[in-house]
Structure 1
Amino acid sequence: MDEKLPVARLVRGARRPEAPPAEASATPGPDEPNVRIVRAPGATRTIVAFAGLGQLVGGMTPFNFMNSLAGIEANVVFVRDPRRTWYNGPIAGLGRSASEIAERIGALAGEAGGGSLYLLGTSSGGFAALAFAAPLAARRVLAFAPQTTIDTSVLRAIGETRWLKMLDRLRRPDIVDVLPALEAAPPAGGCEIIVGRRVPHDVVYANRLAHIAGVTVHLVRGGHNTAMHLRDRGALSTVLRDFVEDAPIDLGELRYPSE
């Protein structure tokens, strides 16, 4: 456990229900596969979009970013984790463990069209994007408000309680921290992490990785659902396009002034 991690302090008020992640698809049916592939003929890049924890009416986890990625010249593999295991598994159609899931996603990316691989996710999906960057030899990663560790001893030490009930149900997850793999093998194109200043724990998660070569932490004005924050301000599609085209991500006036 990293004893230097600060304890984040939250301003407590009325608890609001968490909004569905930005750009969720229509509610999937219970028998729908946990993978959806959208191909762009002639594309030389492939995106893997990891869904987060959000659930729609009926308890089904939606795919994320389907609308905002439309029109971008890349093949896209959309994946979801309805059991909410932070992609440690089991996930029907993907594998029973994190290593199996990574191997299967790599194969799906090849089937989708191959080429340079870009990993994208929000919240637990951001955790997966960061965790699988090294195993999948990803070119670049974009994570919105990701957890960077799910070690419950660390979470309790920093006063983080949002995910404890779900995490306490996980049995021996293969990946509990994204830090070691990213330190050993950071993506060649870098990692962009976008977090909202209104959730101090999310800032703590992001800052754990700030020392790694190629990692850029963007602090914006919003809360946990930073993808929706950007979407509502007309910036999400531009950020996603710049991400896939290896361009710098400039959030301009959306950034928190103290950056």
Structure 2
Amino acid sequence: MPPSVTDLPALDNRRVKTSTEDVLVDRVIPGEILVIAFGFVSWETRPDFDFYGRLKKLEQASGRHINKILVRDSGNAWYHRRVDGLGMHPDETAASLRALIREIKPSKVITIGQSMGAYAAVMYGMLLDAQQVLAFGPLSFLDPQQALLYHDRRWLSVMRDLAANPPVSGYYDLQTLGRNKAGALPEMHIIFGTKPDQATKESVNLDAMHAHRLAAVGNCTLHPYPYSGHAVVQHLIDTKRINALLARIIMNLEIAEEAREVTADWHKWIAENLKLGSSPQELIDILQHHGFSHASASAAVASKRL
């Protein structure tokens, strides 16, 4: 007889990194929040579990335990086909996650993911009646006809495969799923870049279109980042803002901004733009978008105005 979920040992970095499973459950403390983290796509190797390390840092910052379920889609089917240990299609997978939630008895359920994992975070957030969703750069549909209509060919092959050989259950438009949902919607946070990705050769970032489609469902907060492309999580890591963002949304906790030095290249950029007529406040705003604190950005701009 398998052990109860409440008797499972704590995960560690080695287990998360080397596991061959598609779902891992961390040590459970009933009554604490539960975060279900969905992994992103990987074509060359098996997808990694995502957000485990970030959630451990958040535990340290808050002094509170976070219950965690880590999920990945080894078939890169946007969580519509087999997720080993959970189900063969979304409804079955949702039922298994629902059973785990009942055992864990959390105070709040949060789903999180980026890219492919972000689609799952929104989809399962709605199916599981989660209280919060954090989705970094999600698609809003998996319908190949809509993809062609909006000129979003990035994952068209996946959409066509699902359309040609559909699973028993499927949710191919998250806007429709949200509008048809009975009961309250989760509090959705859609985090996305608005800078066009060079690889797509588009003049706009298609993630912004998907974000606004999801916002139309309601109960949704958009978090646009004008200097990020699709890989908005990596942008937030590079600019040292990811931990503060997660703390604020998940734990309602304000933590100090991580120090980031305004380098010589940035000082040169400030001086050049001041000479070209940019306003100091505009430059401060841009520096803050790149992860510099208001204090360090203000000081750097002030130093070039002397």
Task: Give TM-score scaled by structure 1 length.
Answer: 0.78
- The answer to whether the 8 Å contact 2:34/2:107 transfers is yes
- The answer to whether the 8 Å contact 1:187/1:214 transfers is no
Aligned-partner residue type, residue 54 of structure 2: S
Q: CA RMSD in A?
A: 2.7
Largest Rg, 1 or 2: 2
Matched, 1:157 2:149: yes
Between 1 and 2, higher relative CO (CA 8 Å, sep ≥ 6) is seen in 1
More helix by share: 2
Percent identical? 25
- Partner secondary structure for residue 218 of structure 2: coil
- The answer to whether the 8 Å contact 1:43/1:75 transfers is no
- The answer to whether the 8 Å contact 2:29/2:104 transfers is no
Residue 34 of structure 1, aligned match among 22, 41, 46: 22
Partner residue in 1 for 2:191: 194
Q: Which runs of 5+ in 2 are unaligned?
A: 1-12, 60-64, 197-204, 258-284, 291-306
Residue 212 of structure 2, aligned match among 207, 213, 223: 207
- CA displacement at 1:95 relative to structure 2: 0.5
- Partner secondary structure for residue 240 of structure 1: helix
Alpha-carbon distance in structure 2 between the residues aligned to 1:235 and 1:40 = 28
- Partner secondary structure for residue 40 of structure 2: coil
Partner residue in 2 for 1:7: none
- CA displacement at 1:111 relative to structure 2: 3.7
- CA displacement at 1:166 relative to structure 2: 2.4
- The answer to whether the 8 Å contact 1:89/1:101 transfers is no
- The answer to whether the 8 Å contact 1:77/1:112 transfers is no
Q: Which runs of 5+ in 1 are unaligned?
A: 1-23
Residue 81 of structure 1, aligned match among 73, 86, 89: 73
Task: Give TM-score scaled by structure 2 length.
Answer: 0.67
- Partner secondary structure for residue 74 of structure 2: coil
Aligned-partner residue type, residue 35 of structure 2: I
- The answer to whether the 8 Å contact 2:135/2:191 transfers is yes
Alpha-carbon distance in structure 2 between the residues aligned to 1:42 and 1:112 = 5
Partner residue in 1 for 2:54: 68
Residue by residue over 1:14-55, the C-alpha shift from the partner in whole angstroms, topping out at 9 and shown as x without a partner, is xxxxxxxxxx989855x7110112236465210000111135
Aligned-partner residue type, residue 84 of structure 2: A
Alpha-carbon distance in structure 2 between the residues aligned to 1:229 and 1:178 = 25
Pair 1:78–1:147, CA change in 2 (3 A): same
Partner residue in 1 for 2:250: 244
Matched, 1:180 2:166: no
Alpha-carbon distance in structure 1 between the residues aligned to 2:253 and 2:174 = 24
- The answer to whether the 8 Å contact 1:140/1:187 transfers is no
Matches within 5 A, 1:225-236: 225-236=231-242
Partner residue in 1 for 2:34: 46
- The answer to whether the 8 Å contact 2:175/2:216 transfers is no
- Partner secondary structure for residue 217 of structure 1: strand
Aligned-partner residue type, residue 162 of structure 1: R
Alpha-carbon distance in structure 1 between the residues aligned to 2:138 and 2:241 = 19
- CA displacement at 1:130 relative to structure 2: 0.8
Alpha-carbon distance in structure 2 between the residues aligned to 1:143 and 1:212 = 14
Partner residue in 1 for 2:289: 254
